[in-house]
């Protein structure tokens, strides 16, 4: 497809601009880009302290709470930050949109690269902490999940970046939707709590964000969640990604010509 060809052709430009985007977010501060790592790390640490040691309500099943929580939260933070940053990226890079020769299609991916720097740092934190507790990452599952999460994010942000460019208020609505999805996705609560409600359990279990969050956990715990040959959630996930990408790509291409006029 044209988008994939454009992305491959401009891959070096995407990486370079992604690095610059990350640095520019913290320009003018004493610690600079270090804040990009400190802030999410403190956020995750706070959740661990509150739920494991203060509220003592960690729903970790047979695993230490920190081993159950960190992979799920790091996956969610990568998804959340990537979607929100990429959705508003075309407006943030309006000066590039107005340049006829610049490939507008790659702008959302630039923001994904920037958010991915922090996301991979959080993944590393999860890997190190879980290893300390004796739980080691399954490399094949990790590679699969990285591919899966970016396939989903790109599919979603092809649509949201186009809509946010044409309708600025959609950015605020998207923020609210992501907050709701945070609480409806089993990140700080265990999906096993819904086992008595079979229909609701199956719906939540097949949600794409649940698939990725629980999938990253299973990469440490060894549970048979990802790459199962008969895994219905896997089938549902990839069907969802393909359908959303095809629709998003259509919407983006149809409205791309109007971006310069509304900026």
- Whether the CB-CB separation of 217 and 123 falls below 8 Å is answered with no
The C-alpha atoms of residue 189 and residue 38 are separated, in whole angstroms, by 25
Q: Shortest CA distance to 49 belongs to which of 69, 75, 35, 72?
A: 69
Stretch 223-247: mean pLDDT: 78
Structural domain boundaries of the chain?
A: 2-262
Q: Shortest CA distance to 36 belongs to which of 77, 96, 88, 97?
A: 77
Question: How many Cα atoms are found within 13 Å in the side-chain-facing hemisphere of 37?
Answer: 12
Q: Check the CA dihedral 187-235-254-149 and report its sign.
A: positive
pTM of the model: 0.88
pLDDT band at 1 (very low <50, low <70, confident <90, very high): low
* Position with higher pLDDT, 45 vs 137: 137
pLDDT at 230: 46
First to last CA, the chain: 27
Stretch 222-233: mean pLDDT: 61
The C-alpha atoms of residue 123 and residue 200 are separated, in whole angstroms, by 29
- Highest average pLDDT, of 7-11, 32-36, 232-236, comes from 232-236
pLDDT tens per residue across span 181-195: 999 998 888 887 888
pLDDT band at 68 (very low <50, low <70, confident <90, very high): confident
pLDDT band at 114 (very low <50, low <70, confident <90, very high): confident
The vertex-119 CA angle with 87 and 26, nearest 5°, equals 70
pLDDT at 229: 42
pLDDT tens per residue across span 195-227: 888 888 888 888 999 999 988 988 887 765 555
Stretch 107-122: mean pLDDT: 88
Stretch 24-46: mean pLDDT: 72
In Å, the largest CA–CA distance within the chain is: 57
């Amino acid at each position: 497809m044209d988008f994939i060809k454009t992305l491959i052709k401009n891959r070096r430009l995407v990486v370079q601009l992604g690095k610059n985007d990350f640095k520019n977010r913290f320009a003018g501060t004493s610690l600079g880009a270090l804040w990009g790592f400190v802030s999410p790390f403190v956020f995750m640490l706070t959740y661990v302290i509150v739920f494991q040691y203060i509220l003592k309500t960690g729903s970790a099943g047979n695993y230490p709470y920190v081993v159950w929580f960190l992979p799920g939260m790091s996956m969610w933070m990568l998804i959340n930050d990537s979607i929100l940053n990429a959705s508003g990226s075309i407006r943030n890079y309006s000066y590039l949109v107005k340049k006829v020769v610049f490939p507008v299609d790659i702008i959302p991916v630039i923001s994904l690269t920037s958010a991915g720097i922090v996301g991979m740092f959080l993944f590393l934190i999860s890997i190190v902490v879980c290893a300390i507790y004796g739980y080691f990452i399954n490399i094949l599952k990790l590679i699969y999940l990285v591919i899966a999460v970016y396939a989903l994010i790109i599919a979603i942000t092809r649509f949201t970046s186009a809509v946010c460019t044409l309708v600025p208020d959609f950015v605020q609505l998207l923020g609210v939707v992501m907050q709701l999805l945070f609480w409806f996705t089993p990140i700080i609560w265990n999906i096993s709590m819904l086992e008595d409600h079979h229909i609701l359990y199956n719906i939540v279990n097949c949600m794409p964000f649940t698939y990725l969050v629980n999938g990253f956990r299973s990469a440490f715990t060894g549970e048979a969640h990802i790459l199962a040959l008969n895994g219905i959630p896997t089938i549902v996930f990839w069907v969802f990604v393909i359908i959303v990408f095809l629709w998003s790509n259509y919407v983006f291409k149809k409205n791309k010509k109007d971006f310069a006029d509304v900026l």
